[in-house]
Amino acid sequence: MSLRIRMEEGRCIASIEGELSIYTAYDMKRELLALLDRHQHLELDLSAVGELDTAGCQILVLLRREAGKQRKELTFSGRSDPTVALIELLGLVGYFSDDAAPRVVPGAELARAQA
């Protein structure tokens, strides 16, 4: 598991490479939460995720929740086959926005609703 970070047009793009599983979840959780704390817009590129299990999926759900609490934007892009398979199996397709869809983020919606 590795995390490649780059900045592009004011957003932080974090590419997760390798497995996002129970074996890597603890370290990945710390790294991704730290990135979310430092950036207003975090994009997670999941195209190079080779394995995703429910522990890894819990990290993605946690990040979405924390982004909402902090009123930050979190988007997901480039889903690998293992990522798509688990997200579909768990019935979370609607929870993870599609690349082609407008980038509507629950955290941003919450902030607008409370304004």
The pTM score is 0.79
Superfamily of domain 2-114: STAS domain (3.30.750.24)
User: What's the confidence (pLDDT) of residue 100?
Assistant: 30
Nearest to 75 by CA among 83, 86, 87, 63: 63
How far is residue 6's CA from residue 2's CA, in Å, rounded to a whole number? Answer: 13
The listed range with the strongest mean pLDDT (32-36, 70-74, 93-97) is: 32-36
> Domain residues of the chain, as ranges?
2-114
pLDDT one-digit tens code per residue, 15-64: 999 999 999 999 999 999 999 999 999 999 999 999 999 999 999 999 98
